[in-house]
Structure 1
């Protein structure tokens, strides 16, 4: 069961609650999940949570194989078919799309936990929030809608498409908040400029921007530019791992760190992404996030490698009063590009590009083949109304060298050259040179 206001709970009391849940969950997974029994081999799930590192890890490729060999939901479906309440599908951004199922219990707990993250970011009763994610099977549509409702806010289920109608809807209904990907406001800005003469984004009266699904919001320059353009508070309110929990972390007014608000039902670990060695769960540590459901009915996961590289920024009580651990997302292990032995992530490239006022902030990395790479090829887009500066590419290259330590080859392209999307924007394109 969920722990009331778990993100504010005394950690010693929460530890006892977590242990009780795990004792039930371990037996359930052992009895019901063929995938886990196969992955564990001779291992048996330990009775104590702190002994979880004794178990082998589970990764996304194992889930894909499971669903391919045991369609449609894989042999880690632990619930009976009649207990399935909702079916979703992942976006497939990083590979084959996955089928996800929730029981009524799973759906309720997902909404409550996600609601904690949205509430931490400032959403609540009195707000009218328009939700602009794809409702067509994607978990981020309906499920995130339910997390928004869990805060007590009034939710407008708009979805994606027909941006002109969205702008009119915001005006007509007095919308105060928007839920979407961080790249979507750029789409709105273009339509406003082209279709609504004299209207500025901040004229719409939005007070809160709730974002998720893409990296980049930890960058202060990107946030500042969006806040100046729109006049709303920018919040990363929707961090999650779709196979595990749609949303379990959000930012607050006091900090740009993400607060891990699901500690009552979700157990986190850190590992070295290359060696899988367990790292200490302590402030300042950086590694790949590994997650375990301590309570999940349909598709429980134990020691699942998320592929997200995070840095723990706090484990005590935060200024907002929450005891939830704080972290920042550095990047994805599968998005990491090695340039002459230096690890680089798209988020680092974005942080540098957003320092330039004459760039729009849109960028793309086009990698020729599988590597190794001596140079990072970057396409960066001019800001609207900005003329080409012959020295701009060299300036960006120098800044990337200073900030990240890599050699880059930067190509400046005109405004509105790079694609804007209503869903997740791809920042790394890997060309097949085979």
Structure 2
């Protein structure tokens, strides 16, 4: 189902004309109302009237997460505090929190975008949506909640935590859609299994997962264990929250961006140069309709690529390739670039392993080291020591062969790696202070 036919199927020529009008408007608003942007634009010799075509977006300055931290808490707001009806923020575990504010119109637009996304995933007004994203300052819970209500579905606002209780509620309330992080869905599966609940036998049919990168191998793992269709949703609090983009259930090949609200670009992370559609790089967003805290060319650090080819679902909006890593998550091990998602793919293609792993990065003398700790499943745990050692050697060989980096693999017993009720912590880098 297409929730908003007018905007989701708009001919690209009309869509780009709409984007240009909104880009011109947002540049004028931030120049007038946000001293940070006025200073940045003046330093470049750029004024709002210089934006005459969409490609002129490259005249604008980038915005970094650190800019929000430097202006904590409200320094980048473009409206008076009286017009802000809600605040959200990041956890601030790696520095000051990034704070975002929403006007009434922002909240309405956000709910509408999430409703579009839920519909694209296959949800309808007849669904019960078990919303296990965290409520509070994190944008996930309330973002999905308002979108589900806009769709007309029934919301179960379970939030995060209490995993055994969640499994019981999932069974007793008969939820048909679940929203949470992909890693948490597997944690929930394990808890339900221990309670004698087989999620495959429940009415659950769709999972909408986001907030952390995940691979197609993990998708297959989730779909196989839970017996559902797993859909990737994308968003970030600085831009809006969940609902910036989503896969459509019909194709599941790239995430449709809400382009009437966001202008997307791909850039070279090192040089900042804009790259053509189809090339892989860092995705950058300019908010086109956000009133509370509009952002110009916000650097997400997420690695993706754009595809504007028509989709079989009927939507004309550009699709972004699924994010499987971040430029700031990339590890450099003895000169070799390694993304956790690459390790994950190798692990999940190996029989006898679970999707629960951690990468421990350290240094011996002047050389970097990497240890891959991965849980084995119950059947393999009882195997002979020599067979486990053989499996470790096999994985080490595959990592060396496919990634060109030497890693020590350590198989650990089931459920020994700490589970997260939010984003899974995959990397422990001992080379730098831990947050």
Give me the TM-score of the superposition, normalised by structure 1: 0.91
Among 323, 330, 339, the residue aligned to 2:333: 339
Instruction: State the alpha-carbon separation in 1 of the partners of residues 37 and 256 from structure 2.
Output: 25
> Is 2:272 aligned against 1:286?
no
Aligned twin of 1:424: 423
Q: CA deviation at 1:12?
A: 0.3
Give the stretch that moved more between structures: 406-415 or 252-261. 252-261
CA 1:395 to 1:371, structure 2 compared with 1: closer, same or farther past 3 Å? same
Aligned twin of 1:391: 390
Aligned twin of 1:265: 261
Cα deviations across residues 112-146 of structure 1 (Å, max 9, x unaligned)? 12222222111112111110011122111112211
Q: Between Structure 1 and Structure 2, how many residues are aligned?
A: 420
Instruction: State the alpha-carbon separation in 1 of the partners of residues 380 and 201 from structure 2.
Output: 23
Among 226, 235, 239, the residue aligned to 2:234: 239
- 1:339–1:372 contact (8 Å) kept in structure 2: no
Instruction: State the alpha-carbon separation in 2 of the partners of residues 373 and 128 from structure 1.
Output: 52
Instruction: State the alpha-carbon separation in 1 of the partners of residues 65 and 365 from structure 2.
Output: 23
Give me the TM-score of the superposition, normalised by structure 2: 0.91
Q: CA deviation at 1:344?
A: 1.4
- 2:266–2:305 contact (8 Å) kept in structure 1: no
CA 1:255 to 1:407, structure 2 compared with 1: closer, same or farther past 3 Å? farther
- 1:310–1:328 contact (8 Å) kept in structure 2: yes
Cα deviations across residues 359-412 of structure 1 (Å, max 9, x unaligned)? 111111122269986443211111233225111111112222233332222111
CA 1:371 to 1:248, structure 2 compared with 1: closer, same or farther past 3 Å? farther
Instruction: Please list, as runs of the form range in 1=range in 2, the aligned pairs for 1:315-330 lying within 5 A after superposition.
Output: 315-326=308-319, 327-330=321-324
Instruction: Please list, as runs of the form range in 1=range in 2, the aligned pairs for 1:363-374 lying within 5 A after superposition.
Output: 363-368=357-362, 374=368
Q: Which runs of 5+ in 1 are unaligned?
A: none
Q: Which runs of 5+ in 2 are unaligned?
A: none
Aligned Cα root-mean-square deviation (Å): 2.2
> Is 2:32 aligned against 1:47?
no
Instruction: State the alpha-carbon separation in 1 of the partners of residues 368 and 404 from structure 2.
Output: 12
Instruction: State the alpha-carbon separation in 2 of the partners of residues 410 and 418 from structure 1.
Output: 14
Q: CA deviation at 1:23?
A: 2.1
Aligned twin of 1:192: 192
CA 1:274 to 1:42, structure 2 compared with 1: closer, same or farther past 3 Å? closer
Cα deviations across residues 49-75 of structure 1 (Å, max 9, x unaligned)? 3111122211111111111xxxx22x2
Aligned twin of 1:177: 177
Instruction: State the alpha-carbon separation in 2 of the partners of residues 259 and 161 from structure 1.
Output: 28
Q: CA deviation at 1:3?
A: 8.1
